[in-house]
């Protein structure tokens, strides 16, 4: 799966845009908040920040009171340098 391809890429190394996009689309279709958070973290660790942020925003929308979803979103925004959105 695309998620396996993403996690096979060493953390800290950029992820191919097509893999990041496929992971993003697959996870948004699944509607599993835990999967959104985990995949978003994996994407963020591989510098696919826009996709990570989108997944974390979707997780927050599905679970607005989730500390993990909100913390993951804030972390992705910070690593992306999008400080005004924090």
pLDDT truncated to tens, each residue of the chain (86 aa)?
Answer: 777 777 777 877 888 888 889 999 999 998 789 999 999 999 999 999 999 999 999 999 999 999 999 999 999 999 999 999 88
**pLDDT given at position 74:** 97
Using CA atoms, how far residue 2 sits from 5, 40, 51, 58, 65, in Å, is 5, 13, 13, 19, 29
**pLDDT given at position 19:** 87
Classify each residue of 43-66 as buried b or exposed e, where b means 16 or more C-beta atoms within 10 Å of its C-beta: bbbbbbbebbbbbbbbbbeebeeb
Q: Where are the alpha helices (DSSP H) in the chain?
A: 2-8, 17-30, 33-45, 49-62, 67-79
């Amino acid at each position: 799966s695309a998620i396996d391809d993403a996690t096979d890429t060493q953390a800290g190394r950029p992820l191919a845009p097509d893999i990041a996009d496929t992971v993003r689309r697959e996870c948004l279709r699944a509607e599993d908040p835990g999967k959104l958070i985990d995949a978003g973290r994996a994407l963020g660790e591989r510098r696919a920040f826009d996709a990570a942020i989108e997944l974390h925003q979707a997780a927050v929308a599905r679970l607005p009171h989730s500390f993990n979803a909100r913390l993951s979103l804030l972390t992705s925004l910070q690593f992306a340098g999008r400080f005004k959105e924090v």
